[in-house]
Structure 1
Amino acid sequence: MSTPLLTVQNLRKLYSRGTGSVGLDGVSFSVAAGETVALVGESGSGKTTCARLLTRLIEAEGGAVQFGGVDWLAMRGEALRHARGRLQMVFQDPIAAFNPRASLRRLLSDPFRLQGLGRQEIAARVRDAFQEVGLPDTLLDRLPHEVSGGQRQRVAIARALASKPELLILDEPVSALDVSVRAQILNLLRRLQRDRGCGYLFISHDLAVVRAIADRILVLHQGRIVEEGDTETVLADPRHPYTQSLIAAVPRLIEPGRTHHDG
């Protein structure tokens, strides 16, 4: 078996109970290149804390993270800034992370500009990035609020991919979208993964969505992983009472004869 792209060991970041989240209390898992691992659990279970720790938006209180063979938590300063392109994050609705006065062209140009590319090459890369995520060039000069939620999410994915990351952390990337648009984005993510071979850490509370995209599931409850395994195995035969309660809340999730890549 190849070395995992991301290895997390005993990762800890605890909060007081009054915050509504316990944080993380000794979480361990791995993500391989080309693999989608889903992190599922209710609000306050620690999912977003995990994402913020891995993107170094907050610092861990304990544990270790190896990413691409590097001690990820030990990186500082310029080395960390250069390495950040290898691990990118896509949010539930990227409009809060976008400059509202910047055109989509400008939003997509910035990552390429930081790579030191010339104006003509940037323009070509932006057009290619738009094409890769299925957006027409006619939208390039629109502002973020002038396009639909699904189109914004495609821009966010294109922007995240601009730095050629090895790992994408996707935090509830389709929960704000209509069902039909949700399916389109999930299909896009699957195709991009096939083409690029990057790993996904897919954070969600929606088990139906997770079933459609994830190879493995990590069930997070009160800051700890209480169950993990192959997606179909966990959903068809959950062992932990908390996992059983999550699945019971979605009574039509498991249908006889249906695989998680149908539809």
Structure 2
Amino acid sequence: MDKKTICWLIVPIMILVGTALLVSCATPKTPIPALENTTWVLQSYGQPGNLKTVIGDAITTVFDNAKGQVTGFTGLNRYGGGYELKDDKLSIQRLMLTALSGSQPLIEQEAEFLKLLQAAESYQIEGDKLTITCGSQVLIFTKKPTTTTQSKSPPQFTKIDAPLTLDGTKPGTDIPQGSVVYHWANGITEVYGPNNKLIFVAKDSEAADIPHPTPPGSKAEPSPATYTYQVPSGTSIRNDVKEGNDIVTKMYLGNWLLGDRLILTIIKKAEDYKY
């Protein structure tokens, strides 16, 4: 075999080897399931093996790859900020959020969630489950169903912009100006004074019997109550009836809803609800 023939044999072999190498290099790694452009709903968080379950309204996270922004709802506030992805590595920049308040357990849950989210290091998706690793702790989400089923709505609230009155004439003393009334999706109503101190808790008598979230060891329970879904300015609270060891607190809604006089009855002392 002459040199010319050998050269012609070597060239095709080199082409085949080169092509194989190019194909090998061009073959991508197993793709990481899509994190972005999906609404993720937090289910639990904390140390693996000792996870905490989310209380209150749904906590959500959405990664928008077009804007490079992560946004969502903490159960109390809307938040947003930047993020970066590299393979399964995830880093989140400082987050900004709105400034609504709530009960102490929800405030603490919000703070812990945001702290962990900003400490994100990596993520893993298995089916509809997203796990974000944040140092020694994790955030566990599930994908929001793409159906018409709605997740729990954020709380509605009414800001008391004037001192409440009795029958529109006498000054009220139990709920001062600057208080905020929260109506939660689980049928719980909370009223906070201007100093963010809880004044009372009530439960919608028509709502399912869902326990109100309380800290470990707390004896607080949601009180049985007749509840209206909106509390306008002009409402008055009166602690004027005692039944046994309980104080019956009545909320009078004057001249509202076609002129009907509605009454919210709470059979517990406000002092029983300390967080």
TM-score normalised to structure 2 length:
0.24
Query: Which structure carries more relative contact order (alpha carbon 8 Å, separation 6+)?
Result: 1
Q: Which has the larger radius of gyration?
A: 2
TM-score normalised to structure 1 length:
0.25
